[in-house]
């Protein structure tokens, strides 16, 4: 996920990796605290929510624009219906 975030933020090199990893961890914690959902890094929607939250942390000027989008995505995560082979749970 770190490499995906670096691509989104257009960050090269490794000098910011520790800081970005910390932001990713914080975003996952925010998602779980807000929705009860544990981030699944194989789920593109989950990765997009993490990416937007990290973008908000990284560029505070964008936060005002990103907050409504993130809020809608968090609501979607909170109320998502999980489908399994055995049916809906």
Query: pTM score, two decimals?
Result: 0.83
Give pLDDT tens digits along the chain (89 positions). 999 999 988 999 999 999 999 999 999 999 999 999 999 999 999 999 999 999 999 888 888 999 999 999 999 998 875 544 455 44
CA dihedral 73, 79, 83, 84 (to 10 degrees): 110
Any idea which residue has 């399994």 for tokens?
84
């Amino acid at each position: 996920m770190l490499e995906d975030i670096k691509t989104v933020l257009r960050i090269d090199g490794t000098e910011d990796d520790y800081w970005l990893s910390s932001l990713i961890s914080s975003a996952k914690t925010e998602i779980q605290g807000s929705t009860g959902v544990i981030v699944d890094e194989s789920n593109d929607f989950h990765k997009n929510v993490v990416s937007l939250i990290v973008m908000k942390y990284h560029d505070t000027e964008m936060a005002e624009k990103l907050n409504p989008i993130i809020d809608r995505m968090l609501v979607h995560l909170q109320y998502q219906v999980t489908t399994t082979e055995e049916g809906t749970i």
